[in-house]
Amino acid sequence: MIEGSRRLPWQHITIRVPWHDGGWNGRACIAPSANTSCLVLRRIASAKRDEQDGVAGKLFDELAPSELPPCIDERVGFMCDHDLVLTKQHPYKLSSPKTHGHFGETKLRIEAYSAACIPFGWMLKSNVEGNESKGEFGKATTLRLAYDPEREPDLSFETGWVQDKTNQLIMLDTFFGALQPKTSLCFFYAKKTPLSESANRVIIGAARVNGVGEHTEYVYEAPGDLKGVLWERCVRHSLRPGGEDGFLMPYYEVLATAQADASVPIEDCVAFAPEEQFDAFSYGSEHLGHDGAIASLLACAAALRATAKVVEIDVSGALAWIDREIARLWKARGVHPGLGSALSAFGLEHGSLLAHEIVRVGSREGAVFDGFAFIDGIVKNPSAFPQAEKLGFGSTYRDKWKSLAPLRRQLLDLVARCSLSADQALRAYQPSQRGVFTEPTSDADLLANPYLLYERDETAAQRIAFGVVDRGVFPADVIREIAPLPAQARMTDGIDKRRVRALISDMLEHAVQNEGHTLLPRSWIVSRATGAPLDPRCVVDEDVIDMVADYLALTLETARTSDDELALKLRRYGASRTAITSAVHKRVGGKRHSIVHKWRALVDAVLPPMEAGPEAEVEELARREKSGALEQLACGRFSVLIGPAGSGKTTLLKVLCDLPEISSGGILLLAPTGKARVRLEEATKRLGEGQTLAQFLQRYERYDGASGRYFRNPKAPREKGYRSVIVDECSMLTEDQLSALIDAIEGVDRLILVGDPRQLPPIGAGRPFVDICRKLAPSEETPQFPKVAPGYAELTIIGRQRGTDRGDVLLARQFSGEPLDAGADEVWEALRSGTLSHVRTAHWALPSDLEPRLTDEIVRGLALADRSDQRGFELSIGGSEWEGHVLFWERRADQREGGAAEAAHDWQILSPVRAGAPGVEAINLAIQRRFRNKVRERALTPNAKYPKPAGPQGILWGDKVINLRNNGRRRTYPRQEKPYVANGDIGIVVGGYKRGKMKFRPRDLEVEFASQPGVKFTYYAGEFSGEEGTPELELAYALTIHKTQGSQFERTFVVLPRHCRPLSRELLYTALTRHQEELNLLHEDDIGALRRYSDPSASEIARRMTDLFDAPGPVEVKTVSGPRFLDKHLLHRTSRGEFVRSKSELAIAEKLNGMGIGYVYEQPLQLDGKTRWPDFTITDEDSGITYYWEHLGMLSDPQYAARWQIKRSAYLAAGIRPIGEQADGDVLIETREDAGVGLDMVEVDRLARLILR
């Protein structure tokens, strides 16, 4: 090791590898173009070529240098059984010839079964040098390395990377010097795989470090002042085919099984890196401590056991290896894995470095090391460890150590037993730092229940993890024997009530974040606890829950399912339930405002004059329901205004806001996203008056931008200046957001929630808008028009998607979850035949087919000349033609329209997934390569007028982008007093651009967003640097359907893969209602297969377990994606277990079933050469007659009635006669319900008895 580096205690290493479809064995992928998961890595995304399918499956040794895939530089061959030699060139040789021009091509030999590891985090200047002005210390300071910033060369450009050879070696030697051959483990991981849409790292396998190669210095073509080394060093590992000393996770087998069986729970079989170890599984390669290694192996073991349940595979060898290694690692971990952070919390400036030295000197292989006992020895005999004095542990600190009160020492010992960060340890140990805890907590409290470190750290941006505390409290037996916890903290078995409560709390937190549940039934808790990656296991069964019920009640709330099963929920969701339900009940049942207007006249005044013609009757109905809704909004203290896109919700809000009684009291306009805020402002003609929910709640101390947490805060100030509050796109609101909003407002006359409950539920807790709508909606058993009731106003007739009976509207309604008219099934035949208005379809059979098919649809839809028309494409995204070039400018101050971002919502590609060929990541890169290639080529030249490609995606000047985080601190031009850009805002990169007398090429990106035309937001170049940078900007030619919620586009291109687990009824409904003019469906499966997602069992909303107004009723059902639990109260399920679409159909089904009449629900039938789906098909085998029972809803709707007449005529033409007519052959039975009447069950009974005659 070079002088000035430091030998650290031995560590493990994480090694990032790209996903590979053939075993990482020194060959190209079997299907390179189909593997898009690897594109998450910047070096692969920028260099991967479509023509690489020509080298599929070939050995790297057989390929010419120009044919080598870029993944070879990303350790894709770590299982290769022979050496590989790569030629490396310094990345700055061409761009900075004065400083790096003398660097020559350098050979790097990668040994068999090794990985060329780069610890990017140790070569990033900001990490190494820190920032003294912000009080941030870098690795050079904390580890007291001889790194010298003065050695770094002065370059003509800024770089965030260490350049000087000596500095490089100091950092690299320190990093790799902590790997101990035959002792350290290596963990291979991927950032993205086909297994999951989660952003969590996926562990690919684990093995032992067999050795570490030497550094390689660059070859120099000429003398030069600057010297450097390759950052890669080969880490040899023990993993071999057969897995004798290590293992690969059996992911290929999982994927193959899931391909054949949609019910396979893929994510259960995935070993995700522990969440608290995210940084350790970043930056290419990083150190992983013993505690993190144990947690990672436990995650692997849990995933292997889950795999063995669904895949025929032997995992016993891997599990045995994991057991042996965990036993060894517990000893290596010692008593105090968090010693460094604990010493820092104790007050030592160099606590981490002191801990490193203590462990390095004091630990012995195979023996358990007790750091506190070692420090006691230092205190007694300082001369035995003089390094301590040099690292700040002088006589005064020794006195402080000796004088610690017993309780304080016990607490410091507990903190050191948990692998906490320095900040976490500080708030755990220092009482003055526990202000973020959810309630006052003393030292004695923490010692009496160490799990309070997790439970009460709920509000922290980096919360202390349950698993970290659990491993501190439950180490291996050998540690507990040598250094037991103090009596009050000690636990004798795995089901101690403190552990049980913390584990259940952790499961409830994950259920909220990942599934949207606000409660879990007891049986679910029992099942999930069984699979938790814990050692010892925490076997939580019904008896245990009953045993600790009183203790659970101290922090958790109990609930009941509709079947009277106990359920548990986090306390904050009990509070949010109370806040929301109380506000709704009191306001809806309270005194209504006395406002009198000619409501119909107000509606007529903002709409075009009614014209005579076939659509007049529909228009009359539309105005009737708008009038009724307007009165409810004005007079009610609480209202929901619901309706599909285009039904006129925002038009109605404009009328409401213009009423003098409303506007004089002040109107607060809110929306969950920036785009929805702008649309609400535009619709109400109140530009600049709206706010996003995050903006508003942050001002009133109920939103934390660092953690993204919304919360109630009764002690904080409230907004009292608005008498009316209107919130749009409320289907996106979580229970946390809605309860925080209710808590933040006071003196409000009317609270109006606007949205479409048929869209996707929110990302987060519950589905409050759906639950409120269900609670207030008029009874489905007695249909009424207009659908207006206290607190409830629904618009049902679509006007904006221009046309009273458009095909795209009918298609979307198939996925609305609402009862459908009997003739609406005509949409499927029209879709299949290509005659459905405003809808185009295009089929793709293979992943490689998608890009050309999508390109062709874009060429047609955007009226481009051909597939290579880059100019036409750039004009379509907001470019302006000038002197033969396409330029991208923001709107000028003197303009009322224009600017590149004005075109950001003209068209949009949508996909349900991020990964894979149909995912937005691959599509975005494919679009950019095809249509922005000329700009990219220019951006890579030194004389370009705009920035280099930025970030992993290589974002270019003129690209369409999306902002990913709420941010109120960005630099803007013109300067804004309160600059704010919201998560989900879409815009165009309009700068920097070198103009006029500018001397230097711009480095930063400037974005004009559609929500704020004329304003440029700066994204600094440094945000896009580094291997693990998470820039707040992404390409947005393609967006996930979730991301487009709340937005509207003129034209959409919706990509629909065949095997797509995220697809649901609500996801499709949302996707099919984002356009205004034309919908393009690019489908892999038969287009008719979409119909299965219209089934109630495909509902994502029904998957959520919540009890806002009613107890949930979980039932397990078979769905298109395998068995799932759904809330039966959101569905209509017959006693036979099938799902129907309405309460009336349910009543008919139950009558038939009760009378012993067999039926088939929605059995396909050919009528007039088209496939139709009767509600009930009843075949009488004795008579040979088939009865087709069609239930008709509100025939007062002229569109409904017209569709039914077409279908009825087809029945008659097929010789199927109404039941009242005397004729041979099959029979048509019709039941109907009219407004205010409902289904006549006496008539149903009569008709059913006719069948039995």
What is the 8-class DSSP label of residue 284?
A: B
Q: Which of 330, 351, 372 represents a domain boundary (last residue)?
A: 330
pLDDT band at 365 (very low <50, low <70, confident <90, very high): confident
Alpha-carbon gap, residue 304 to 313, rounded angstroms: 10
Is 277 found in the same domain as 356? no
Q: What is the pLDDT of residue 801?
A: 42
Q: Using CA atoms, how far apart are residues 507 and 528, in angstroms rounded to an integer? A: 8
The two beta strands, 84-88 and 750-755, are: unpaired
Confidence at residue 804, expressed as pLDDT on a 0 to 100 scale: 56
- Is residue 73, in this structure, part of any structural domain at all? no
For 435-443, which contacts have Cβ atoms below 8 Å and span 24 or more sequence positions?
Answer: 436/460, 443/407, 443/408, 443/411
pLDDT at 671: 95
pLDDT exceeds cutoff 50 at 120: yes
Q: Please compute the mean of the pLDDT values over residues 1121-1147 and round it to a whole number.
A: 90
- The verdict on 1017 and 893 lying in the same domain is yes
Instruction: Return all residues near 199 (Cβ < 8 A) that are at least 6 apart.
Output: none
Q: How far apart are CA 240 and CA 317, in angstroms?
A: 13
736 inside domain: yes
- The CATH number given to whatever domain includes residue 1244 is 3.40.960.10
CB 58 within 8 A of CB 27: yes
3-state SS class at 193 = strand
Rounded to 5 degrees, what are φ and ψ at 61? -65, -25
For 151-165, what is the mean pLDDT?
A: 89
End residue of a domain, out of 436, 457, 489: 489
- pLDDT tens digits, one per residue of 966-1000: 888 899 999 998 888 988 999 999 999 998 888 88
Gyration radius of the chain over CA positions: 33
Q: What is the CATH number of the domain that holds 745?
A: 3.40.50.300
Q: Is residue 678 part of a domain?
A: yes
pLDDT, average across residues 1206-1230: 91
Asked whether residue 564 is assigned to any structural domain, the reply reads yes
Q: Nearest Cα to 875, choosing from 954, 932, 937, 947?
A: 932
Whether pLDDT at 115 is above 50 = yes
Distance of CA 488 to the CA centre of its chain: 41
- 964 in the same domain as 1067: yes
Q: In terms of domains, do 1077 and 1169 share one? A: no
Whether 830 is in a domain gets the answer no
State the pLDDT at residue 1026: 64
**Mean pLDDT of the region 358-362:** 92
Cα–Cα distance, 799 to 809 (Å, whole number): 10
pTM here is: 0.92
Using the predicted structure, report yes or no on whether residue 2 has a pLDDT greater than 60.
Answer: yes
Domain boundaries, position 780: 590-794
Q: Residue 1036: its pLDDT value, please?
A: 98
In this structure, are residues 731 and 755 in contact, taking their beta carbons and an 8 Å threshold?
yes
Question: Does residue 238 contact residue 208 with C-beta atoms inside 8 Å?
Answer: yes
* Mean pLDDT value across residues 354-375: 93
Q: How confident is the model at residue 800 (pLDDT cuts 50, 70, 90)?
A: very low
Q: Are residues 784 and 860 in the same domain?
A: no
pLDDT band of 541, cuts 50, 70, 90:
very high
Q: How far apart are CA 336 and CA 1236, in angstroms?
A: 72
Ranking 453-457, 644-648, 958-962 by mean pLDDT, the lowest is: 644-648
In b/e form, how buried is each residue of 594-628, taking b as 16+ CB within 10 angstroms? eeeeebeebbeeeeeeeeeeebeebbebbbbbbbb
Contact 913, 995 (CB under 8 A): no
Q: Which helix (H) or strand (E) holds 373?
A: helix 371-380
Residue for token pair 């902002």: 963
38-42 average pLDDT score: 86
Q: Are residues 1147 and 1070 in the same domain?
A: no
Higher per-residue confidence, 48 vs 479: 479
Query: Whole-angstrom Cα distance, residue 652 to residue 669?
Result: 14
Same domain, 435 and 481: yes
pLDDT at 1112: 97
pLDDT confidence of 1198, banded at 50, 70, 90?
confident
Buried b (16+ CB within 10 A) or exposed e, 666-688: bbbbbbbbbbbbbbbbebbebee
pLDDT digits (tens, 9 = 90+) for 862-905: 999 999 999 999 999 999 999 889 999 999 988 889 999 999 99
Residue of higher predicted confidence among 1046 and 179? 179
Mean pLDDT over all residues of the chain?
A: 93
Q: Encode pLDDT of 1050-1077 as tens digits.
A: 999 999 999 888 999 999 999 999 999 9
Beta bridge partners of 886: 881
Domain count, the chain: 6
Q: What is the pLDDT of residues 165-175, one digit of tens each?
A: 999 999 999 99
Per-residue pLDDT of 750-783, as tens digits, reads: 999 999 999 999 999 999 999 999 999 998 777 7
Cβ neighbors of 511 (< 8 A, separation 6 or more) are 517, 520
**The one-letter amino acid at 898:** G
105: amino acid identity, one letter: E
DSSP letters of 1056-1120?
E-SS-TT--HHHHHHHTTSEEEEEEEEESS-GGGGGGGGSGGG-SGGG----SSS---EEEEEET
- 304 and 189 belong to one structural domain: yes
Do 986 and 947 sit in the same domain of this protein?
yes
Closest among 427, 416, 447, 450 to 343, alpha carbons compared: 416
Helices and strands in the chain: count of H runs, count of E runs: 44, 47
Examine the fold and report which residue of 308, 330, 352 is the final residue of a domain before the chain moves on: 330
| Three-class DSSP category at 396 | helix
623 part of a folded domain = yes
Run of H or E residues at 690: strand 690-692
Contact 247, 318 (CB under 8 A): yes
Query: What's the pLDDT at 131?
Result: 87
Of 282, 273, 104, give the one whose Cα is nearest residue 204: 273
- 249 exposure class (CB count in 10 Å sphere: 0-12, 13-18, 19+): buried
The token pair that represents 950 in the structure block: 């930025």
Residue 958 lies in a domain: yes
Q: What CATH number is attached to the domain comprising 524?
A: 1.10.10.10
Q: Which residues, in sequence order, are CB contacts of 1249 under 8 Å at separation 6+? A: 1155
Are residues 1214 and 1147 located together in one domain of the fold?
yes
- Does 623 score more than 60 pLDDT? yes
Residue among 795, 794, 806 at smallest CA distance from 831: 806
Cβ neighbourhood burial of 429 (10 Å; 0-12, 13-18, 19+): buried
566-570/556-560 β-pairing: antiparallel
Judgement on whether residues 770 and 756 belong to the same structural domain of the protein? yes
Structure confidence by residue, pLDDT tens digits, 50-63: 667 889 999 998 99
> Do the strands 185-190 and 12-16 form a parallel or antiparallel pair, or are they unpaired?
parallel
Residue 809 lies in a domain: no
Nearest-angstrom CA–CA distance, 125 and 133: 15
Q: Is there a single domain that holds both residue 658 and residue 690?
A: yes
Segment 237-294, tens digit of pLDDT: 999 998 889 999 999 999 999 988 888 899 999 999 999 999 999 999 999 999 999 9
Mean pLDDT value across residues 291-306: 96
The DSSP H or E segment spanning 1008 is: strand 1005-1009
Write phi, then psi, for 62 (nearest 5 degrees): -85, -5
Question: 431 versus 34: which is more confidently predicted?
Answer: 431
User: Does residue 442 register a pLDDT over 70?
Assistant: yes
What percent of the chain has a predicted confidence (pLDDT) above 90? 80
